Structure 1
Amino acid sequence: MTYSEALNWLFSQTRAGAPRGLGRIRGLLERLGHPEALFSAVHVIGTNGKGSVVAYLEAAFRAAKEAFGATSSPHLVDFRERIRTHLGLIPEGEVLEFVRWAQEERFLEPPAFFDLTTALAFRHFAQKGVRIAAVEAGVGGALDATNVLPRVRLTVITNIGEDHLETLGGSLEGVARDKAGAIRPEVPVVTGAQGVGLEVVRALARERGAPLYVLSEEELFALPTAPALPGRFQQQNARLAAAALRLLGYEEAAIARGLAAAFHPGRMQRLEYRGVPVVLDGAHNPPAARALAEEFEGFHLVFGAFPRKDYASTLGALLPKTKSLRYAWAGRGALRGAELQRVRASPYFEDPLEALEHAAAAARQEPWPVLVTGSLYLVGAVLEGLGLSAWTAPEVGP
């Protein structure tokens, strides 16, 4: 079996209609000897900003010369981006060996892709001597596979917005209850949630005796330096990370170096394509799209999305500043032309690079930047098509 064949097998593993729950991941970890018990963790939950908070934490851990782990999803170009340590991305050989092991096992509840990926990450962290990991939740909190971590030192709930509504209860309050359900007794919580979401988080934190720190102008959330990740919305993510790191006891120097060095591909990532400025961003729900649109006066838009997302509202948040629009296929399972064009008639391209070229031609006539967004999978397809690597560990100064 090749590495590519191992990934194809991983991607093909689904819940097949089974309900969400922790039984599958628990069964996996039990057979692996409970590697999740060998490191402590920061559990990062929320509608938007999870990956950015993980990136800030990861860079600060590196600055502090910590033996750390980090997970994020989805990947952009290479599956290995999902699982990282102070030593770099997980090796292909380890992924291959794990898949061979999993294929030989017989499970009462067959694990799905995210269960397998989470178990692989935890085993890798244990093998590499990780002391603390920044772990990004997948969907929700209470029933997410990452919620089996036994040694969570701090929980970050970035925000709570309209995404995965059907999966997480059908309402903003339902989403909040699912995400806040991962709050652990007496474990501190840092959050940027507002409104209904904050009310639910506050109530559950009180019920479980978890100290709650809500984003404010207080010194705990102060930024010791300008954060590396571009975009005004990144200020909140950086402040949440700074507060988390202070509560964990990290020195101000390491916090400052980490915030200044963080790198998160596919989030306001800037590059040049044939003389035209291009911004790649994985905004895939209405709150993220609204925040992204605020960063521009105008743009030529390349948009792709998946049917499980509220793509019409996401696109609607971008249209007021869109100078020209074209759609692109974002990958397996993504929406195609006829479905996207129901929102607004515009050209559709099966090849994302053809869509990028079409937008670049428009940008040469009307000089606005090209924005590629709607899905991180679309961003990844563009990066891969351009032959660019998504993930390079940032250099952290002395």
Structure 2
Amino acid sequence: MVYQEAVEWLFAQSRAGAPRGLARIRALLQRLGQPEAAFPAVHVIGTNGKGSVVAYLAAAFRAAGEPYGATISPHLLDFRERICTHQGPIPEAEVVRFVEWAQQQRWQEPVAFFDLTTALAFHHFAAVGVRVAAVEAGVGGALDATNALPDVRVTVITNIGEDHLETLGGSLEGVARDKGGAIRTGVPVVTGAEGVGLAVIRAIAAERGAPLYVLSEGSPIFDLPAQPSLRGRFQLQNARLAAAALRLLGYGEPVLSTGLSTAVHPGRMQHLTYQNTPVVLDGAHNPPAVRALVEEFEEFHLVFGAFPRKDYHTMLQTLLPRARSVRYTYAARGALRAEELLQEHPAPYFEHPLEALHHAVGAAQQDGALVLVTGSLYLVGQMLRQLQAQHLASPKKVG
């Protein structure tokens, strides 16, 4: 088996309609010798900003010289981005070995992609001897595979917003209960949640005796010792949450300063130049993320692609008033097609993201505005792949 075959097999695995829960991940981890018990973790939960908080935490662990692990979801260009340590992304050979092992197992319930990926991450972390991990939840909290972690030192709940409503209870209160269900007895909680979501989290934390630190209440624990490296005003909240978690873990101000100012998280407010035109790539994929994103720009030429399970109607209602022009594209397998997107607002549709970008750049060159590519992190990943392929295929200058 080669690496790409292993990744394709992982993505093909599904729980086949079985309910959400921890039974599958626990069975996996038991057969692997309980690797999740080998390291303490920061559990990062929330609707938006999880990956950015993990990026800040990982940069701080690196600044401290700590053997660390970090998980994110989804990835942009390569599956290995989902599982990183102080040694770098997980080696391809280890992914292949794990898949070959998993294919030989027999399970009472079919194990899904995220169960397998989480088990692989924990197994890898234990193998390389990480001393702390920043672990991003997938969907929700209480029933997410990452909640199999036995030694959580800090829980970060970034925010509570309108995403995965059909999975997490159908309302903001239901989303908050599911995410807040991962709060551990006596373990500190750091959150930027507001309104109904905060009320639910506050109640759960009180019931479980978990110290609660709320960003909106202005505690000095959220102070920023340095300018965050990730762009966007919304990133200030993510940086403050990471700073609070790091202080609760006992890290000093020099480590916080270096970590916050050196974090890298591609695909989030990523600026580049294409054909001498400014382009911003951002993986905003739900209404709260899009609302935060549009506050960064007065106007733009829009390239949009999304998935039918997302509230793309509300996302477009937020984006279109500031868009000088619009074009749609196919984000990735399973994404919205032309007939679905064109019901929202008449605009050109492009099968390939790079074609949509080229069309948008043509419009932007007429008025000097930038191009914004958004709607899905998968779209951003596809765009980056096609840009890389174009660069590699371009004739090289000689002499």
**Into which bin does the TM-score normalised by the smaller protein fall?**
over 0.9
What is the aligned partner in structure 2 of residue 154 from structure 1? 154
The 3-state SS of whatever aligns with 1:387 is: helix
SS at match of 2:308: coil
CA contact (8 A) 2:15 2:109 kept: no
How does the TM-score come out when normalised to structure 2? 0.96
Q: Using the alignment, how far apart are the partners of 1:34 and 1:303 within structure 2?
A: 43
Matches within 5 A, 1:78-117: 78-117=78-117
CA distances 1:97-150 after superposition (whole Å, capped 9, x unpaired)? 100000011111121000000000000000010010000000000000000000
CA contact (8 A) 2:282 2:374 kept: yes
1:16 partnered with 2:13: no
Deviation at 1:78, TM superposition (A): 0.3
1:217 Cα deviation from its structure 2 partner: 2.5
Is 1:174 paired with 2:174?
Answer: yes
Give 2:231's aligned residue: 230
2:394 counterpart residue number: none
Separation in structure 1 between the aligned mates of residue 16 and residue 347 of structure 2, nearest angstrom: 35
- Which amino acid letter does the alignment assign opposite residue 80 of structure 1? R
- Which residue in the other structure is 2:277 paired with? 276
Shift of 1:173: 0.3
Provide Cα deviations, 1:235-256, integer angstroms capped at 9, x if missing partner: 0000000011001100100000
Aligned-pair RMSD on alpha carbons? 0.7
Residue in 2 that maps onto 1:395 = none
Distance across 2 between alignment mates of 1:340 and 1:16: 28
AA aligned to 1:354 is: E
* Alpha-carbon separation, structure 2, partners of 1:315 and 1:348: 15
What does residue 2 of structure 1 align with? 2
| Aligned length in residues | 388
- Measured in 2, the distance between the counterparts of 1:169 and 1:345 equals 33
One-letter amino acid of the structure 2 residue matched with residue 245 of structure 1? L
Q: Which residue of 1 aligns with 2:74?
A: 74
- Structure-2 separation of matches of 1:17 and 1:312: 27
Secondary structure, aligned partner of 1:314? helix
Identical aligned pairs, as a percentage? 72
Structure 2 regions of 5+ residues with no counterpart?
390-399
Query: Quick check: 1:368 aligned with 2:369?
Result: yes
Q: Distance in 2 between matches of 1:15 and 1:319?
A: 37
Flag structure 1 segments of 5+ consecutive residues without an equivalent.
389-398
Query: 1:121 — aligned with what?
Result: 121
Counterpart Cα distance in 1 of 2:193 and 2:19: 27
- Misfit runs of 4+, over 4 Å: none
2:50 is matched with which residue? 50
**2-side partners of 1:348 and 1:128: how far apart?**
46
Matched to 2:131, the amino acid is R
Aligned match of 1:244? 245
- Structure 2 distance, partners of 1:156, 1:36, is 19
> In the TM superposition, what is the alpha-carbon distance from 1:218 to its structure 2 partner?
2.2
- Normalising by structure 1, we get a TM-score of 0.97
- Aligned with 1:44: secondary structure? strand
